[in-house]
Amino acid sequence: MEAEGLGWLLVPLHQLVSWGASGAIVFGGVVPYIPQYRDIRRTQNADGFSTHVCLVLLVANILRILFWFGRHFESPLLWQSIIMILTMLLMLKLCTEVRVANELNIKRRSFAAADSKDEELKVPPKRSYLDFDLHHFWHWSSFADYVQCVLAFTGVAGYITYLSIDSAVFVETLGFLAVLTEAMLGVPQLYRNYCHRSTEGMRL
């Protein structure tokens, strides 16, 4: 009798817990990048953050979304991928703007220090996605180039997925690649820290 009386309370409580857990899954992945975003915006310095982390997460989550078309999984995980993609694009936009502005400021300071009337201020060369220069891959001067690259990858991967969606082997391989790529998340930041011999600018 007492259990039946508490039923009206347990049902909405269970629903509330379920919503909370879903919200934590959807937004929990992006929370660590909020302090990093604010720190870069405050200091106007993105040297401590590797934008290749964004590349890894973009590829992993795009592949995960494509995997969903072959084998549906929980909706919160799908929304988590969408939110993560948007977050990484925001991070890329900020990092690109800060880096380009800093490169221009360095050129201006060098020009002022030279104090030469004959010397002209040279704007840093623009690096574009359409240059197809592997040396400057994922180190472009415009946020639009990153968007074009992401759209191109999504289009190619989506078309291949569309053609092979009926193959169970392909779908499982797609899911495996998504998980494997995300598992390599720490490698770009670790490599950058090793090259700089410093973790300055990286939020823990």
Q: What is the pLDDT of residue 118?
A: 46
For residue 67, the enclosing domain spans: 25-105+141-203
Q: Is pLDDT above 70 for 115?
A: no
* Count: domains in the chain: 1
Q: Is pLDDT above 50 for 40?
A: yes
Q: What is the pLDDT of residue 139?
A: 86
- How many whole angstroms separate alpha carbon 126 and alpha carbon 146? 14
Per-position DSSP letters for 124-163, written without gaps between them: PPP--GGG--GGGTT--S-HHHHHHHHHHHHHHHHHHHHH
Is residue 3, in this structure, part of any structural domain at all? Answer: no
Q: What sign results for the dihedral spanned by CA atoms 80, 140, 181, 155? A: positive
- How many whole angstroms separate alpha carbon 87 and alpha carbon 79? 12
Is residue 47, in this structure, part of any structural domain at all? Answer: yes
Is residue 5, in this structure, part of any structural domain at all? Answer: no
> By the 8 A CB rule, do 192 and 46 touch?
no
Is residue 59, in this structure, part of any structural domain at all? Answer: yes
Residue 179 has φ and ψ, to the nearest 5°, of -70, -40
Between the two ends of the chain, the Cα-to-Cα distance in Å is: 52
- How many whole angstroms separate alpha carbon 86 and alpha carbon 110? 37
**Alpha-carbon distances, residue 8 vs 2, 5, 14, 15, 20 (angstroms):** 11, 7, 11, 12, 19
* Tokens coding 101: 């502005």
- How many whole angstroms separate alpha carbon 83 and alpha carbon 29? 9
CA dihedral 162, 154, 65, 55 (to 10 degrees): 150
What's the predicted TM-score (pTM) here?
0.80
Is residue 194, in this structure, part of any structural domain at all? Answer: yes
Is residue 69, in this structure, part of any structural domain at all? Answer: yes
Is residue 131, in this structure, part of any structural domain at all? Answer: no
pLDDT digits (tens, 9 = 90+) for 11-39: 677 778 878 888 888 898 899 999 999 99
Is residue 83, in this structure, part of any structural domain at all? Answer: yes
Q: What is the mean pLDDT of residues 92-104?
A: 89
Q: What is the pLDDT of residue 186?
A: 80
